[in-house]
Structure 1
Amino acid sequence: MRVLLVEDDDRLAAALTTALSRHGHQIVRAGLAVDALRLSGGVDFVLLDLGLPDMDGLEALRRVRRVSAVPIIVVTARTDEREILRGLRSGADDYLVKPFRTAELMARMEAVVRRGTRPMPARDHVITVGDVRIDLGTRQVSVGGEPVTLTRREFDVLALLAREPGVVRSREEILDEVWGDPLLSASRSLDVHVAGLRSKTGRPGLVETLRGTGYRLGGQ
């Protein structure tokens, strides 16, 4: 496989390159997130460190996931359970904490490949709910043919729900995906944005609240 290794530690990158090459993989190395984003579209697998100098690795992970279904294993020294959950919720297929043995890395890569890649995220995809039209590609929303202006986060919340209509998203999951911090669940920020969506579209039932569970895309 053609593997993108995103790692800013030269010594570790060299060791992993040698080990992966011995197993028949072709390695493309990136030390910066900006290079990883540029190269991720041309590889079969991504090994992603989170401690990158130009961008947090979780943000890089989210950006890759918006456009690619390439298998990704996060490889990092971060051991905090919250970080692990954020990595998996942001789209990682697996999470491996340093230091690790090469044999474990290979086994995990093989397991991810056996499971198959996740569905491609919707890009130029349009979801219609009644007379509400949500264009995920252009980030435009219209109601009855009339455009509706949403804030960036209002659209991000709506898009997250629209990608899988009917699927319930927990408050923590939405806050983690859109705000990047599930601990904001104690705030009313999400409630304010959901209220804004209902008000601006004039469709109170567009976003349904399931008490104690979360939200899902509903009818009008």
Structure 2
Amino acid sequence: MSDASGSASEQNTLILVIEDDVQIRRFLRTTLTSNGYRILETATAADGINKAALHAPDVIILDLGLPDLDGLEVMRRLREWSSTPVIVVSAREQEHDKVAALDAGADDYLTKPFGTSELLARIRVALRHSFHAQGSEEATFEVGDLRVDLARRHVSIQGVEVHLTPLEYKLLTTLVRYAGRVVTHRQLLSEVWGPSYANESHYLRVYMGQLRHKIEADPTRPRYLLTEPGVGYRLKVE
């Protein structure tokens, strides 16, 4: 699985592309195969769901505007039985479309047009997260100068311990669990504060601000705790 696990090569990684736009599909085919990935393609939702069940891909790239079924419904049906990482690619760029896709179970969202480097980076993150979710997650998360020791409940920057409140720590470790993925406001609020707080977005703004002041060198230009405007937050992993 490329650099996500270190135990399998990219040549063994199978990516299913569910996309009806011929030009986008050609671009994805060229990009992915030239970077060592195996690829399955389909232009319809029904065939995509079938291929996902038959071939067990490592990552699914899903367009929302499919001819036979909306991509959000495809996402919901996949999540009934599959935890395969899904990267949505869509021309829909409104915030509510991104939130809807992520809340439906997507791991990431790319707005068309997108570049090769960004696509490949998102795939690497999806693979890494998938590998960790299979039970091989390490007890320590590290990126740049940030280190989170989950076993010892210890957070440090450049080796210096950062003292967090219980809620700040829970917010950070929730983002660690989904590292590299966009986590919506609603999901963060539900997981950190509980389902009854799912609409209390001001809680999140306040605690994210506090967390950034303790972790980021410049809270106004965060390096680790990134904002996805109108959607949620992402903990940077590379």
TM-score normalised over the length of structure 1: 0.54
SS in 1 for 2:66: coil
Determine the C-alpha separation between the residues in 2 that align with 1:30 and 1:44.
Answer: 16
* Distance 1:170-1:31 versus aligned 2 partners, 3 A rule: farther
1:73 aligns with 2:100: no
Provide Cα deviations, 1:181-212, integer angstroms capped at 9, x if missing partner: xxxxxxxxxxxxxxxxxxxxxxxxxxxxxxxx
Q: Does the Cα contact within 8 Å between 1:71 and 1:117 map onto a contact in 2?
A: no
Provide Cα deviations, 1:10-63, integer angstroms capped at 9, x if missing partner: 121011101100111111001000011101132111000000000000000000
1:168 aligns with 2:195: yes
- Identity of counterpart residues, as a percentage? 40
* Distance 1:167-1:100 versus aligned 2 partners, 3 A rule: same
Name 2:219's counterpart in structure 1. Answer: none
Which of 13, 19, 24 is equivalent to 1:7?
A: 19
Q: Does the Cα contact within 8 Å between 2:58 and 2:127 map onto a contact in 1?
A: no
SS in 2 for 1:116: helix
Name 2:142's counterpart in structure 1. Answer: none
Cα offset for 1:116?
Answer: 2.5
TM-score normalised over the length of structure 2: 0.50
Determine the C-alpha separation between the residues in 1 that align with 2:93 and 2:35.
Answer: 27
Which of 25, 31, 34 is equivalent to 1:22?
A: 34
Provide Cα deviations, 1:53-91, integer angstroms capped at 9, x if missing partner: 000000000000111000100001000100000000000
Determine the C-alpha separation between the residues in 1 that align with 2:197 and 2:100.
Answer: 14
Q: Does the Cα contact within 8 Å between 2:64 and 2:88 map onto a contact in 1?
A: yes
1:55 aligns with 2:69: yes
1:37 aligns with 2:64: no
Determine the C-alpha separation between the residues in 2 that align with 1:60 and 1:169.
Answer: 28
Q: Does the Cα contact within 8 Å between 1:45 and 1:71 map onto a contact in 2?
A: yes
Amino acid at match of 2:87: I
Determine the C-alpha separation between the residues in 2 that align with 1:60 and 1:110.
Answer: 23
Q: Does the Cα contact within 8 Å between 2:84 and 2:130 map onto a contact in 1?
A: no
Which contiguous aligned blocks of 4+ residues in structure 1 show a shift greater than 4 angstroms? 117-120, 169-172
Determine the C-alpha separation between the residues in 1 that align with 2:100 and 2:71.
Answer: 11
Determine the C-alpha separation between the residues in 1 that align with 2:79 and 2:132.
Answer: 10
Determine the C-alpha separation between the residues in 2 that align with 1:170 and 1:84.
Answer: 21
Map residues 183-194 of structure 1 onto 2, 5 A cutoff: none
Provide Cα deviations, 1:82-129, integer angstroms capped at 9, x if missing partner: 000000000000000000001100001111222236969xxxxxxxxx
Q: Does the Cα contact within 8 Å between 1:33 and 1:57 map onto a contact in 2?
A: yes
* Distance 1:95-1:118 versus aligned 2 partners, 3 A rule: farther
Cα offset for 1:6?
Answer: 0.6
SS in 2 for 1:82: helix
Name 1:88's counterpart in structure 2. Answer: 102
Determine the C-alpha separation between the residues in 1 that align with 2:17 and 2:104.
Answer: 18
Name 1:175's counterpart in structure 2. Answer: none
Gaps of 5+ in 1: 121-163, 173-220
Return the index of the structure with the highest Cα Rg. Answer: 1
Determine the C-alpha separation between the residues in 2 that align with 1:16 and 1:169.
Answer: 41
Count of residues paired in the alignment: 128
Gaps of 5+ in 2: 1-12, 135-190, 200-238
